[in-house]
Amino acid sequence: MSSMTKKRVLPSGARFMSGDIACAEGAIAAGCRFFAGYPITPATEIAEHLSARMPEFGGIYIQMEDEIASLVAVIGASYAGLKAMTATSGPGFSLMQENIGLAAMTEAPCVIVDIMRGGPSTGQPTLPGQQDVMQAKWGSHGDYSIIALSPSSVQEMFNLTIEAFNMAETYRVPALVMGDEIVAHMWEKVVIPPASEIRIVNRKKPHDSRDKYEPFMPDDDLVPPMACFGEGYRFHATGLTHDEYGYPRTQSSEVQSKLVRRLCEKVSRNEDKIIRVEKVMLEDADVAVVAYGIVARAALSAVRKAREAGIKAGLLRLITLWPFPEKHVAAVTNQVKTIVVPEMNCGQMVREVERAAKETPVAFLSKLGEDPHTPNEILKVIKGNI
Amino acid sequence: MVQEMVHPFSKYLRSAMIPHIWCSGCGNGVVLNSFVHALDELQMDLDKLVVVSGIGCIGRSAGYTNADSFHTTHGRAIPFATGVKLANPELEVVVISGDGDLFAIGGNHFIHAARRNIGIKVICANNFNYGMTGGQQGPTTPLESLTTTTPYGNIEHPFNLVHLAAASGATYVARWTTLHVRRLTQSIKRMLQKEGFCFIEVVTPCPEIFGRHNKMRTGLEMMEWFKRSSVVENFSDPSKAEITPERIVVGEFVNVQKVSYEKFFHEKLAQINEKAVEW
C-alpha cells in the first residue's frame, strides 16, 4: 500500500472550499493515512471527503459503529505506525472522552477534530457553538495534557489541522482542532502551499536496540521515542499506571506521580514552542478583545470600528486554546484598562482570561443559540467599558 | 555444573510480568497455555503478532504474551485491534478478553467487527461473571445463578455467545471448555490460519469468585461440571448450543470462507489507484 501516493497534497494555488474539506485536505497534507469516524453534523463532510480521497493514495477510511470505536481504532492505527485522525461534534466528542485519556496515558499521537455545535446533549446540530472548549481540556478523568487549536477561517482549518498532526507527533499527545459549525460549513478561499513548503513532523523513533528499548522512557524533552507494532520491539502499552517498560505498576505512588506529572509537563514545559496567538493593534491599546474561532473575526471588525471611533482597541486572538496562552493574556492585561471576551457559550475561556488578568476588569459577552456576535455587539461592549 | 532450566515456552511469555494475577483454580492460565501452544505449533513469528486485551482478569493476557501488546480501556479491545489490522494487514491481531468486556460494555463492537469481517481473532474466556470486580452478574451469567449483585438469583437471560457470533457473520466460531485443552489448541490454530473475523469461546472455571456462590467452591468442582455436562456437537445449530447445569454444547459451529474486510479494502484500493490520475 506504500506505492499509492499519486495524489497526496493538492496542487498549490488558490482554491475555494469549505472548512470541513479544508480540514480533510490539511490532514492528508500532514501525512494522515487513517481516518475512522461516525457521521455527525456538522463534521460529516470531513468523513465524506476523506472516504473519497484516502483511497486515492493508499490511505484508510473506515466508518465505525460509534465515536468510541472511532477514536480507539485511531489509537490502534497510531500504534501500528500511521498518522491517524477522527472528526466529530459535541455528542461524539463526549463519547470520546474516556479514550482521549487512553491516548494521553499511552501517548498515542492522534488528531481529533471537534466541530462545535450548540449543546448540551443533541442541542443544535446545525448551529455554531464554543461550548466544548473546557471539555477539550478537562473532559477525560484524571490529570493529563492535550493540545487544542482554534481555527478562525477555512484557511486555518487547513493550516491548523497540519499543525495539529505535527504537535501530536512531536509531543505524543491527542491534538484537538476545535472548529465550529461556521468555519466548518463556510466556503472561502484557501491557498494551498507547494507540498515542499509544508512542514511535516514525524514521531521520534527509538534510539535503542530492540532488547534495550523502554517504550515509556522519555528523552530530555519528556517525550519517549515511539516504536510501532510489527517492528520487532515487542513492547506493551496499557491504560493502567505503568513504568518505563510499559508494565502495570498500579500500587506505586512513586510511579504514578512520575508518570502523570510527566504527561502534564511534557506540554507545559514546551508551552513557548506550542502556543500561538495573533496580536492586532495591541501596541497602544487601552482595551483588548480576547477571542478565538469564528468570534475572533467579528472581534477584529469591532476593533477596527472602535479605532475609527477614536478608541484605542486591540485584539488578542487565541490560536492555541490549550495549553492556555496565559503569558500573552497577562502581558496584554498589564497594559490595557479593560478586557472584553466574547464567546458562544455561558462563559468558559473567560475564566482563564480572568485568572490571567488578575486585577484588570474583564467584560464577558455571551451569545447562544443563533449567529455569533456581530461586530456592533462587540463594539457596544468595548464602548461601554472604556 | 547445574544447567539453568528454561521452559521451552518461556520465549512466548514476558517473564517480567509474571507471576500472573489469577486465582488458584482459575481457567485463564489454561486459555493462555493453549494459545501459546498454538503459537508454538504454528511457529508464529512473534514480531508480527499483536495481542490486545480489554479490562478484566483475562485482560492481563496481552501483557503476559511476549509480542507487541496493548491493554485497552474496558470493552475497547476490538476497535483497537480493528485499527491495528487495517493499518497493517500483515500483522496477526488477536484479542483475548472476557465475557463482560467483549459482550456487555464492548458488545456493539463485537457484532460490528463480525459483520464487517475484519480479520481479527477473538478468544473470549467466559467465566459467567465479572471476576476482577468481585463477582457481579454479567451478560453470560446463567439464569438463577447467585452473584454479588444477584443475591436472589439471576433473572436476566444470558447471551449465547456462539449464536451471537454466528448470526453476526463470523467466519469461524467454536466453543470449548478449559477441559478440552487439545481441541481448544487445535481450534486456536485453525482460527489463526483463517481469513476474516474468528471467534472462540472458552468456558472457564472461576471457583473463587463465581463458583463459591454456586456450589462449586473449587476449580476441580467446576471442571467436574464441564466434564459431566459437555457434549461435542460439531457444526450443530449454534442457536441450540446451550450452557446449562446439565448440558454444555461445545464444538466448532461455523467454518466458512468469506473475503475479509481488509482484503476487500486493499483490493479496492488497487483498483482505485489504477484509475487515479496524476494532477
- Cβ contact B71–A248 (<8 Å): yes
How near does any CA of chain B get to the CA of A242, in Å?
A: 11
| Rounded (5°) CA angle A220-A224-A225 | 110
Nearest to A229 among B78, B91, B276 (CB): B91
C-alpha cell at A218: 522519555
DSSP B88: -
Nearest to A66 among B83, B88, B108 (CB): B108
C-alpha cell at B230: 459437555
Neighbouring C-beta atoms of residue A349, cutoff 10 Å: 25
DSSP A11: P
DSSP B125: E
B46 to chain A, any CB pair closer than 8 A? The answer is: yes
- Cβ contact A64–B50 (<8 Å): no
Confidence of residue B274 (pLDDT cuts 50, 70, 90): confident
Q: pLDDT over 90 for what percent of chain A? A: 94
Q: Which domains does chain A have, with CATH numbers?
A: 13-197 (3.40.50.970), 279-384 (3.40.50.920)
Rounded CA separation A225/A217 (Å): 8
- Cβ contact B73–A239 (<8 Å): yes
Rounded CA separation A38/A65 (Å): 7
What pLDDT, in 10s, does the model give residues B136-179?
A: 999 999 999 999 999 999 999 999 999 999 999 999 999 999 99
Nearest to A73 among B16, B48, B82 (CB): B82
Per residue in B117-150, is it b (16+ CB within 10 Å) or e — as a string? bbbbbbbbbbbbbbbbeebbbbbbbbeebbbeeb
pTM for this one?
0.97
A82 to chain B, any CB pair closer than 8 A? The answer is: yes
What pLDDT, in 10s, does the model give residues A11-32?
A: 999 999 999 999 999 999 999 9
Would strands B49-53 and B68-71 be described as parallel, antiparallel, or unpaired? parallel
Per residue in A126-155, is it b (16+ CB within 10 Å) or e — as a string? ebbbbbbbbbbbebbeeebbbbbbbbbbbb
What pLDDT, in 10s, does the model give residues A289-334?
A: 999 999 999 999 999 999 999 999 999 999 999 999 999 999 999 9
Choose the mutation target among B273, B274, B278, B279 for the interface with A, i.e. most A CBs under 10 Å. B273
Confidence of residue A1 (pLDDT cuts 50, 70, 90): very low
Residue A319: strand, helix, or coil: coil
C-alpha cell at A150: 482554534
C-alpha cell at A267: 506540554
Evaluate if residue B278 carries a pLDDT over 70. Answer: no
pLDDT of residue A208: 84
Taking CB atoms and an 8 Å cut-off, how many pairs form between chains A and B?
150
What pLDDT, in 10s, does the model give residues B77-105?
A: 999 999 999 999 999 999 999 999 999 99
Nearest to B269 among A4, A10, A236 (CB): A4
B274 to chain A, any CB pair closer than 8 A? The answer is: no
pLDDT of residue A178: 98
A6 to chain B, any CB pair closer than 8 A? The answer is: yes
A102 to chain B, any CB pair closer than 8 A? The answer is: yes
- Cβ contact A230–B90 (<8 Å): yes
| Residue A174 identity | P
Evaluate if residue B1 carries a pLDDT over 90. Answer: no
B61 to chain A, any CB pair closer than 8 A? The answer is: no
B269 to chain A, any CB pair closer than 8 A? The answer is: yes
Task: Note whether A181 and A117 are within 8 A (CB).
Answer: yes
C-alpha cell at A21: 474539506
What pLDDT, in 10s, does the model give residues A6-16?
A: 567 889 999 99
pLDDT of residue B277: 56
ipTM of the prediction? 0.97
Mean pLDDT, residues A171-190: 98
- Cβ contact B83–A11 (<8 Å): no
Q: pLDDT over 70 for what percent of chain B? A: 98
Per residue in A178-198, is it b (16+ CB within 10 Å) or e — as a string? bbbbbbbbbebebebbeeeeb
What pLDDT, in 10s, does the model give residues A69-111?
A: 999 999 999 999 999 999 999 999 999 999 999 999 999 999 9
B109 to chain A, any CB pair closer than 8 A? The answer is: yes
A55 to chain B, any CB pair closer than 8 A? The answer is: yes
Nearest CA among A314, A317, A315, A223 for reference residue A276: A317
pLDDT of residue A8: 77
Neighbour-count burial of B15, counting CB atoms closer than 10 A to its CB (0-12 exposed, 13-18 middle, 19+ buried):
exposed
Q: Which of residues 250-289 of A touch B (CB under 8 A)?
A: none
Nearest CA among B94, B61, B279 for reference residue A8: B279
How near does any CA of chain B get to the CA of A244, in Å?
A: 13
C-alpha cell at A60: 484508510
A214 to chain B, any CB pair closer than 8 A? The answer is: no
Collect contacts of A297-300 with beta carbons under 8 A, ≥24 apart.
A297/A152, A297/A153, A298/A342, A298/A372, A298/A373, A298/A374, A298/A375, A298/A377, A298/A378, A299/A340, A299/A342, A299/A373, A299/A375, A299/A378
pLDDT of residue B38: 98
Q: Could you tell me which chain B residue has the CA closest to the CA of A34? A: B87
Evaluate if residue A251 carries a pLDDT over 50. Answer: yes
Chain A residues inside the 8 Å CB shell of B14: 236
pLDDT of residue A94: 98
A224: preceding bond cis by omega (within 30 degrees) = no
B81 to chain A, any CB pair closer than 8 A? The answer is: yes
Nearest to A36 among B66, B83, B108 (CB): B83
A15 to chain B, any CB pair closer than 8 A? The answer is: no
Evaluate if residue B32 carries a pLDDT over 60. Answer: yes
How near does any CA of chain A get to the CA of B230, in Å?
A: 36
What pLDDT, in 10s, does the model give residues B99-122?
A: 999 999 999 999 999 999 999 999
Q: Which domains does chain B have, with CATH numbers?
A: 23-275 (3.40.50.970)
Chain A residues inside the 8 Å CB shell of B88: 80-81, 229-230
Evaluate if residue A5 carries a pLDDT over 50. Answer: no
B44 to chain A, any CB pair closer than 8 A? The answer is: no
- Cβ contact B83–A56 (<8 Å): no
Mean pLDDT, residues B40-48: 97
Task: Note whether B125 and B58 are within 8 A (CB).
Answer: yes
Rounded CA separation A113/A17 (Å): 18
Residues 6+ apart with CB under 8 A from A361: A337, A338, A339, A385
Chain B residues inside the 8 Å CB shell of A248: 63, 71
Nearest to A76 among B67, B84, B273 (CB): B84
DSSP B102: I
What pLDDT, in 10s, does the model give residues A261-270?
A: 999 999 999 9
- Cβ contact B87–A240 (<8 Å): no
What pLDDT, in 10s, does the model give residues A186-199?
A: 999 999 999 999 99
B56 backbone φψ class: left, alpha, beta (φ>0; ψ -120 to 50): left
- Cβ contact A56–B276 (<8 Å): yes
Q: Could you tell me which chain A residue has the CA closest to the CA of B50? A: A229
Rounded CA separation B142/B213 (Å): 13
Neighbouring C-beta atoms of residue A369, cutoff 10 Å: 11
Rounded CA separation A258/A261 (Å): 5
Confidence of residue B279 (pLDDT cuts 50, 70, 90): very low
Mean pLDDT, residues A148-163: 98
Chain A residues inside the 8 Å CB shell of B86: 34, 60, 62, 73, 77
Rounded CA separation A364/A172 (Å): 35
Task: Note whether A24 and A5 are within 8 A (CB).
Answer: no
Nearest CA among A145, A89, A97, A95 for reference residue A119: A89
